[in-house]
Structure 1
Amino acid sequence: MSNAKQAVATAIEQVGALVNPRNIVLVGASDRPGSWPATVWKTVHEHGFKGNIYAVNPNRDTIGGKPCYKDFASLPEKPDHVAFLTPAQHVPAGLAAAAAAGARSATVFASGFGEDGSPDGLQLAAELRRVVEQSGIGVTGPNCTGNIIADSGLVTLVDHRKLNVAPGAVSLVGQSGGVLLYANHILADRGIQVGKLITSGNEVGLNCADYIAYLAQDEATRVIFCYLEAIKDLDKFKAACALARDNGKPVIVFKIGASEEGRKAAMTHTGALAGSSAVFDAVLQDVGVLRADSLDEAVEMIELVVHLGVPIGYNIGAMSLSGAYRGILVDAAAGSGMKFPKLADDVERRLTDLLGVGSSAGNPADGGFTVLTSVEKYIEAVNIFCDDPDLDILVLQAELPREEGMAANWEERFQGIHDLVTRRGKKLAFISMFSRMYTDYTRRLRAGLPNVAFIHETTKSVRALARLAKWSELARRASGEAGTAAGNDARDASPAVIELRERAKCATGTFLLNERDSKQLLGSYGMAVTREEVASSADEAVRLADAIGYPVVLKAVSDRLYHKSDIGAVQLGLGSAEAVKAAYWLIHENVGRSGFEGELDGILVCQQIDGGKELVAGIQRDPEMGAVLMIGSGGVLLELMQDVAFAPLPISRRRALDLIRSTRIAKLLGGYRGEAAHDLSRIADSLVALGNLAVDLGDALESIDINPLVSRAGGKDPIALDAVVVLGREAAH
């Protein structure tokens, strides 16, 4: 069993102890009105926990009219789940005592474990971590707000608002108790029941990956929402999410830190363009993670999964009550991946006959006045849509009324459509033009329509549909690839790579390979690079240029020069010996004027490549996501266009082709407006080679930047014109 899979198995066992305890022990319990311990004491007793609940406080004999025990040894039975309501400084010793007494899990509410970076707090966190690691006890927190586990009645969540605790298909986990508290109430307002809510806090013990692993095999859970600030163990997180995906459970993640400003600046182009959202999606979408752009969008995705389930397809059949909304819906779908396919001929004809003169039976159809005023005709129109085998989901413009009689006959219409699609096994969502507030009447009406979705506001709802359709596509692909190798064949690292790994181990920070060494390393893995040699004199530069063939390019060579063009250390289009000599001395002068300190390794005399399409390719080690590969538009368009796509490593040839096709420049490579087409498979092979090199270098690699990588028509391999390999590790890592 792999390390990640073993970690997932351990997580399932530990979280299982947390969510199904035999008893609850509240350490530091109190009944002082308004205090945090009193709130937890009250909450724990209100929601039907079937085991015993004990209080431990050496300063009290009773709490709330019940016995209070001095220590764990005084309890009538071994403690199982221990909730610490004490100040932070008492927790490590208390947790060690609890574990020694037999406790399997614990919740630590207190803050003060280095959240503010204080040395005392960080030392306290280290002490707590040692106890957790030595004892094996499953701990949620510290600095958390408690949990809701409806199945077992374990409710330690601190929330002064009324909690509706009941089994439900939705599970919430996250590093912010505040976000989960509000999410729980918002979902309740929408009539969506949360069955499990786990706040992970600082994650000194259990983390979000552990909870996702447990929920992935929890029969009651159909969808998992995760509020995420940082991933503690990427491999375990990926394994947990893949398990959820394989069990048909989307993991919807809202993650902060998506802005470029929130990232540490990198020295290469690849790093500068590796925004958090793009890299996060690239690494995690294949293992079943759905990233929501907003918390509202997450709610719509949850609504769809709870009431329609997955998979969801891309093909929509839609009917609106106004031509204006028809346009709004079409605009919202544009570019999302969702499509309105042409209706089957028979379906088109029957809808046209039903809707009557003046109505449009296209897709989406404008129901018009005839359908609007007739419950029977409306339901029949939906029935006709159901006959089209190419439609994956039906979308109708409608919203639930806020009070009885507010919309004539809509209750009957909703019920009739619900019963129809339930009987026919179709997925259907009602979509509102704006977001709506629910009332008690709305929720009662909604509760009787469990097999249709009610999604709010067109743009975010269509985006939610598109994300779920993409998730469904990737889940099917993963299922089809089960048991096959995800990456490339095993290889023995070359002596050069082994030597570089050893250098990186000894390095105190990062270091660069100069351009010549970088390109030779790429060439050793099968990538095409320019013909080039290093000259140490002007006369030697001329001899090399004669051998390579004019025109040539001259470049300064140093492992300390990041951007040579900026200081005039690159001279292009040199067509004669005289031009080469002049460029040689000009580069030396420009480098000297730039303030560069140290000696150059020489002047690189390179074959000049003209024509082709300039791409950028590279590897960047993201602080959270690890090494990722990038491909996109390169050269002078790099920062301007930011047309790039990312993928995790290792990368297969098929995935590399998909990655290339996802960029805008792929259209140009395909033979735009009569130009010769480029062979995308040759670019894909270069990306596979680049990925192989990155995998072999492992943790020694910080980044590789190839700009430009020139793609050439006529069946030629793309060729690297410039490259920089950065090894070692940034101090912040």
Structure 2
Amino acid sequence: MQARERDVAGTQATSASLFRSVATTLAGKSLAIVGASERARWPSEIFRNLREFGYPGQIALVNPRQKEVFGQRCFPSLRDLPEPVDHALVIVPAPAVADVLTAAEERGVGSATVYASMLGDGDAPESKARGTWLEQFTAKSRLRVAGPNCMGAYSYRERLFGYPNTDLCRLAPGSVACIFQSGGLLQFWMKAAAERGLRYSYCITSGNEPDLGLADYLNFVVDDPHTRQIVLFVEGIRRPQAFMHAAGRALALGKPILAIKTGATVQSQAASQSHTGAIAGDYAAYLAMCERYGIVNHRSLDDLIETALAFEGGRSPKGPRIGFVTNSGATVDLLYDYAETEGAAIPDFTDETKAALLPMMQEGIAPKNPLDVGIPSTLEVAAKICETAARDPNIDMVAWASPMPRKGETWGDVAPLRQLLTKTDKPVVGFGRVIQQLGDDHLAAQEATGFPFLQGIEPTIRALDGLWFHAARRGRAPPTPPPAPASNLSPATLEATLARYGIALPKSQAVANAAEAVTAAERIGFPVAL
């Protein structure tokens, strides 16, 4: 066997041992809705969405209290189905879940999504007991279980819409995969990002994850040829070995992972534990993982949108250096301040570039980076200025400060902006100085130019820094995961788990007051951060 074949075989064997299949969950060719009802909102909305938006497979309806729902026969149990289905959408109260999953296993159903909460989440004894049963059931069952305590998923090309939100089903398929451990938050982020032009391949809520989890979904979308970038909302990483292996594969393939994680504070860690039962783990360990696997970490959901838009441009910078083109001296001042805060690189232009820029600028203003050209210019002149900045060997990315057209306005002929992209292979973005309410006119203008328009000076800087953070690490081969038992990324397993991947944690100690901080600092050794 050749070395390349051995590597591929080894990777396939590793993937088989680390991951659980989500294929029938996200791409099932036949479905059952358990708890089917015309009056209950979630099952009725999901059924209508599947029919209205073109799910091509058979849909069986199950409810022991109904003979017929939406004019279709209703079966009393999954056991009574004439044929097993690939996937069951289980929309029943928590006390009924055990019987439904047992019936699904007996009937040969491939997988099930459990929507109900109180199955391991929260502090109630009955929830804990159900969660324990579910963990034991999935450990020995061939039935794969998504959720519980989730809101389903969107599979755009398969037209499998198991999330109860009709508006988001209307979007055309795209290239962004989202995996959120929060069910409710997903729809609000998706809507806001879609209004800016993002479109999706898969959008998944993973819930409590006693069986199928973040790592399994991540592994699936890494392999999906339509997915070009992956967005994560993380509360806890239950199977860090599998997660790191999937993240390593994404990095090797050049697929960026953008993430935001809760648990940076003690209060947030406690909330995550209560919400989904997730152990948030050490935030420093998570950041070390991001550094190793090129995961672009974010501090806000808004920044997550801006960075995702920047990656939609499809270009990877060769360095961190940003060239800014504006027509405002105050914007230049802010760029200097924010760049220093964010650690962004804004080198000056070469003398040759300055000489080329001078004829296009207002008299009396010296060319420098960030560039204030003075009076507003036409699109043709703006494109020429950006092209000149992009040719500079000191510049790796170009950001053009320009508001989007107001409602009812257009830019007219945007051909110069489109041609700009043919004259450089460097990333180019437009950006607004402040957040602007956008509509269809803005999306049309963005699509016409061919490059993304970001909002806000600081978010733009962070988004471009994110492009370089990933570009500097992309293409690395993932490390071969050493044998290890599955475990949560918890304080007890943290150091040993990360050490197997060569990730060293800084020495740390939790303290309650200033005196303890002084003692801990002396023990750890200086310098220290508080």
TM-score using structure 1 length = 0.62
Equivalent residue for 1:723?
none
Matches within 5 A, 1:518-537: none
1:154 is aligned to 2:22: no
Please give the alpha-carbon distance, in whole angstroms, between the structure 2 residues aligned to 1:191 and 1:94.
40
Report whether the alignment pairs 1:107 with 2:113.
yes
Residue 76 of structure 2: aligned partner: 70
SS in 2 for 1:14: coil
SS in 1 for 2:430: strand
1:331-390 Cα offsets, whole Å, 9 max, x none, are 111143321223233222111233252223111211112xx2333322222222232233
Where do 1:513-592 residues align within 5 Å?
none
Deviation digits for residues 180-203 of structure 1, max 9, x if unmatched? 010110011111112211111111
Describe the SS at the equivalent of 1:196.
strand
Structure 2 match to 1:626: 494
Mapped partners of 1:199, 1:158: distance in 2: 12
What is the match of residue 386 of structure 1? 390
> What CA distance in whole angstroms lies between the structure 2 residues aligned with 1:209 and 1:625?
17
Query: Do the aligned partners of 1:12 and 1:214 also contact (CA within 8 Å) in 2?
Result: no
CA distance in 2, matches of 1:125, 1:648: 27
* 8 Å CA contact 1:7, 1:236 repeated in 2: no
Match of 2:446, SS? helix
The residue aligned with 1:418 is 418
Which amino acid letter does the alignment assign opposite residue 649 of structure 1? Answer: A
Offset, 1:444: 2.2
Alpha-carbon offset, residue 44 of structure 1:
2.4
State the Cα distance separating 1:279 from its structure 2 match. Answer: 3.1
Larger deviation, residues 130-139 vs 211-220: 130-139
Distance 1:249 1:431, change over 3 A: same
Contact 2:241 2:481 in 1 (8 A): no
Counterpart residue number, 1:20: 27
| RCO comparison, higher one (Cα < 8 Å, 6+) | 2
Instruction: After TM superposition, give the deviation of residue 161 of structure 1 in Å.
Output: 4.5
In structure 2, do the counterparts of structure 1 residues 125 and 261 end up closer, same or farther at CA, with 3 Å as the change threshold? closer
**In the alignment, is residue 333 of structure 1 matched against residue 339 of structure 2?**
yes
Q: Pick closer, same or farther for the CA change 1:384–1:164 going to 2, 3 Å.
A: same
Question: Residue 514 of structure 1 corresponds to which residue in structure 2?
Answer: none
Q: Is 1:454 aligned with 2:461?
A: no
In structure 1, stretches of 5+ residues that fail to align are 265-273, 488-620, 629-646, 661-686, 688-703, 712-733
Change (3 A) 1:121 1:184: same
Three-state SS of the structure 1 residue aligned to 2:324 is strand
Residues 1:145 and 2:183 aligned together: no
Secondary structure of 1:192's counterpart equals coil
CA-atom RMSD, angstroms? 3.2
Residue 260 and residue 94 in structure 1: after superposition, are their counterparts in 2 closer, same or farther (change >3 A)? Answer: closer
More strand by share: 1
How far the C-alpha of 1:300 sits from its partner, in A, is 0.9
Q: Deviations over 1:416-462 (max 9, x none)?
A: 22332145323101111111111121122223333x12111111221
Q: Does 1:123 align with 2:122?
A: no
Is the contact made by 2:315 and 2:425 (CA closer than 8 Å) also made in structure 1? no
Residue equivalent to 1:400: 404
Q: Which amino acid aligns with 1:284?
A: C
- Structure 2 unmatched ranges of 5 or more: 1-6, 271-279, 483-488, 508-519
Question: Are the equivalent residues in 2 in contact too, given 1:215–1:244 (CA < 8 A)?
Answer: no
Paired residue secondary structure (1:448): helix
Q: Is 2:468 aligned against 1:469? A: yes
2:372 equivalent among 348, 361, 366? 366
Q: Aligned partner of 1:27: which letter?
A: V
1:324 CA displacement: 0.9
Within a 5 Å distance, the mapping from 1:154-193 to structure 2 comes to 154-159=160-165, 161=167, 163-193=169-199
Q: Is the 8 A contact 1:72 1:79 kept in 2?
A: no
Identity fraction in percent: 27
SS, match of residue 104 in structure 2: helix
- Kept in 1, the 8 Å contact 2:281–2:491? The answer is no
How far apart in 1 are the matches of 2:449 and 2:295? 28
Larger Rg: 1
In structure 2, what is the Cα distance between the partners aligned to 1:444 and 1:354?
A: 28
Paired amino acid for 2:29: R
| TM-superposed deviation, 1:651 | 8.7
Change (3 A) 1:710 1:453: closer
Structure 1 CA distance for aligned equivalents of residues 18 and 96 of structure 2: 26
CA distance in 2, matches of 1:327, 1:625: 47
Query: Is 1:376 equivalent to 2:192 in the alignment?
Result: no
- 2:34 and 2:61 in contact (8 A); partners too: yes
In the other structure, the counterpart of 2:214 is: 208
1:276, distance to aligned residue in structure 2 (A): 4.4
Inter-partner Cα distance in structure 2 for 1:47 and 1:275 = 40
1:21–1:80 contact (8 Å) kept in structure 2: yes
Q: Tell me, what secondary structure is at the counterpart of 1:334? A: helix
Report the CA distance between 1:399 and its aligned residue: 2.2
Aligned mates of 1:428, 1:454 — CA distance in 2: 9
Q: Which letter maps to 1:431?
A: F
Q: Residue 459 and residue 50 in structure 1: after superposition, are their counterparts in 2 closer, same or farther (change >3 A)?
A: same
Residues 58 and 486 of structure 1, relative CA distance in 2, 3 Å threshold = closer
For normalisation by structure 2, the TM-score amounts to 0.84
Q: d(CA) in 2 for partners of 1:622 and 1:318?
A: 43
